[in-house]
């Protein structure tokens, strides 16, 4: 399994997914297919895609049948064309049938995230900006979806609330303003990887700059306003001293405008919450 994934944690997730799907037993398979029947299943790309999760796909069947044998022909991150076969699995026919939906759901979902991320990354090539994910992930799937973003060429923002300080609109309102929130946040400096604050206009930006946070998030600003904000940040501090991040309303159609405005990071919740599952099939045949 990829070193970017915790094998034990992934197996526990897969077991829980299988338990949810199987319930008290796969009555269709158990009544129609012999327990001694062996079969081979081939994964087939039905559309252009970036592969992500192929080892997880195989692991589903290994959990159901320890004799499972797999041949992996394409690795995560590879771009596949329709008809390409990235893997095939030989196992108990019952295991293949019972695990098919969980395995395919994951492979289609993660490959969809990786495919969309690759499109965003390609859209800003040459600008120096980086595409980041967000915490807008499916509950229970965060580690896997963030892995798929990295497979697609993006970077991970905070993995959880403990990793960094990110002061957002509601924090600012409840803390009593930008200055009050940033002053209070200094208490986390020893355990937070960085301190970041969200601003929505130039007045808030100037208030934030007085406290020299590590990152300033320019939220829901137009690309032209982002350009002005980046210029002010650079005038305030040496380049890269304070990072800038654009977020809110980022799409494939406008992402390059924001990248060319000079930000360091562009975060897009769409990478994980709006990525469509890609079309992949799993076709089986019996073995004598």
Residue 241: what pLDDT?
87
- Structure confidence at residue 1 (pLDDT): 66
Residue 176 zone, left/alpha/beta (φ > 0; ψ -120 to 50; rest): left
Is 225 buried (19+), middle (13-18) or exposed (0-12) by CB count in 10 A?
middle
Q: Any idea which residues carry the catalytic annotation?
A: 101, 136, 168, 198, 219
pTM over 0.75: yes
Q: How far is CA 92 from CA 18, 63, 205, 235, in A?
A: 16, 12, 61, 65
Q: In the predicted model, what is the mean pLDDT of residues 200-226?
A: 97
pLDDT tens digits, 126-168: 999 999 999 999 999 999 999 999 999 999 999 999 999 999 9
Highest CATH level, class, for 164-268:
alpha beta
Q: Is the pLDDT of residue 239 over 80?
A: no
Instruction: Output the pLDDT for position 237.
Output: 72
Report which of 145, 179, 185 is spatially closest to residue 164, judged by C-alpha positions: 185
Residue 278 vs residues 71, 73, 108, 155, 251: alpha-carbon distances, Å: 21, 19, 5, 21, 19
Q: What is the mean pLDDT of residues 155-182?
A: 97
Per-residue pLDDT band for 243 (boundaries 50, 70, 90) equals: very high
Collapsing DSSP states into helix, strand and coil, what is residue 247? strand
Contacts of 268 (CB under 8 A, 6+ apart): 120, 131, 132, 133, 134, 247, 250, 255
Average pLDDT over residues 69-93: 98
Mean pLDDT across 15-38: 98
Per-residue pLDDT for 57 more than 90?
yes
Say what the pLDDT of residue 288 is. Answer: 78
Biggest CA–CA distance in the chain, Å, is 74
Residue 7 scores a pLDDT above 90: no
Please, are residues 121 and 109 in contact by the beta-carbon 8 Å criterion? no
CATH 3.20.20.70 region(s) of the chain? 164-268
Report whether CATH 3.90.1170.20 matches the domain 7-120+276-287.
Answer: yes
Distance CA 62, CA 91 (A): 8
- Cα within 13 Å of Cα(210), Cβ side: 11
What per-residue confidence (pLDDT) applies to 282? Answer: 98
Give the tens place of pLDDT for each residue, 106-132.
999 999 999 999 999 999 999 999 999
Is 224:254 a contact under the CB 8 Å cutoff?
A: no
- Model confidence at 238, pLDDT cuts 50, 70, 90, reads low
DSSP-derived 3-state class of residue 99: helix
Among 150, 97, 109, smallest CA distance to 13 is for 109
117 contact partners, CB below 8 Å, separation of at least 6 = 50, 131, 133, 148, 149, 151, 152, 153, 154, 271, 275
User: Nearest CA to 128 among 237, 238, 265?
Assistant: 265
Percent of the chain with pLDDT over 90: 94
State the average pLDDT over residues 17-34. 98
Measured CA to CA, the distance from residue 260 to residue 258 in angstroms comes to: 5
CB neighbour burial string for 50-62, b if at least 16 within 10 angstroms, e if fewer = bbbbbbbbbbbbb
Residue 240 has pLDDT above 70, yes or no: no
Provide CATH 3.90.1170.20 ranges for the chain.
7-120+276-287
Q: In whole angstroms, give the CA distance from residue 114 to residue 53.
A: 10
With cut-offs at 50, 70 and 90, classify the pLDDT of residue 6: confident
């Amino acid at each position: 399994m990829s070193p970017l994934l915790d094998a034990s944690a992934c197996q526990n997730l897969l077991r829980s997914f299988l338990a949810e799907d199987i319930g008290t037993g796969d009555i269709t398979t158990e009544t129609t297919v012999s327990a001694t029947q062996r079969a081979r299943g081939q994964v087939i790309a039905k559309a252009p895609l970036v592969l992500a999760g192929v080892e997880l796909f195989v692991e589903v069947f290994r959990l159901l049948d320890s004799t499972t044998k797999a041949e992996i022909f394409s690795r995560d991150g590879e771009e596949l064309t329709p008809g390409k076969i990235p893997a095939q699995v030989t196992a108990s026919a019952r295991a293949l049938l019972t695990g098919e939906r969980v395995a395919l759901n994951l492979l289609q979902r993660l490959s969809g995230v990786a495919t969309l991320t690759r499109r965003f990354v390609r859209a800003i090539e040459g600008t120096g900006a980086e595409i980041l994910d967000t915490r807008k992930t499916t509950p229970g799937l965060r580690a896997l979806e963030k892995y798929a973003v990295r497979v697609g060429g993006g970077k991970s923002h905070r993995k959880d609330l403990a990793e960094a300080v990110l002061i957002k609109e509601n924090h600012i309102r409840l803390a009593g303003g930008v200055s009050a929130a940033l002053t209070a946040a200094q208490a986390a400096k020893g355990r937070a990887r960085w301190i970041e604050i969200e601003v929505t206009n130039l007045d808030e930006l100037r208030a934030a700059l007085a406290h020299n946070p590590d990152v300033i998030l320019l939220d829901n600003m137009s690309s032209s306003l982002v350009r002005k904000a980046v210029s002010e940040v650079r005038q305030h501090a040496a380049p890269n001293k304070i990072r800038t991040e654009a977020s809110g309303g980022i799409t494939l159609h406008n992402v390059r405008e924001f990248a060319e405005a000079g930000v360091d990071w562009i975060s897009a919740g769409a990478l994980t919450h709006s990525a469509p599952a890609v079309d992949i099939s799993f076709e089986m045949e019996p073995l004598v």
